[in-house]
Amino acid sequence: MDRFELTQTIEDAMDDKGLTYAKVAEEVGMSPVFVTAALLGQMALPEEAAKKAADVLGVPEAEKGLAKIPSRGSLGMDVPTDPLIYRLYEIVQVYGTTFKKLIEEEFGDGIMSAIDYDMDISRQPDPNGDRVRIVMSGKFLKFKKY
């Protein structure tokens, strides 16, 4: 089973069992962001966590695939077409240079790690309509000077 098929099988199992990503993460004992990324094929779960996830899902064949190192960032397209994912892409297109300049002013020449990285997604109540709050925190990695 390839990674796309595995993701479809996982999503079907979740639908059949009425599971949410948050519930699977709780059962696995790991971050909802990390477990969701793994279930969608963008991260590898540790072997024990992969077994727990496969058990919760009732998909024993998922264990090996969930522990396998993925080809990250593989959405199957250059520019995402899903409206929610596209809006995140659009934010980076519009504000990416702003992020870069402000990070460089604060930290110097380097990058924010997407490996040593945390993310939290939450609902922020607002009288004009609830807001999506995304908090990202990545280790700063300074470029080496030779």
Kindly report the CATH number assigned to the domain that includes residue 8: 1.10.260.40
Phi, psi of 80 (to 5 degrees): -60, 145
Whether 8 is covered by a domain: the verdict is: yes
Catalytic residues: 87, 90, 113
Whether residue 22 lies inside any domain: the answer is yes
pTM of the model: 0.76
Looking at the structure of the chain, the number of domains it has is 2
Task: Give the mean pLDDT of the chain.
Answer: 92
Q: Say yes or no: 9 and 48 in one domain.
A: yes
pLDDT digits (tens, 9 = 90+) for 67-116: 999 877 766 667 888 898 899 989 988 788 789 988 999 999 999 999 99
Residues 87 and 137 in one domain: yes
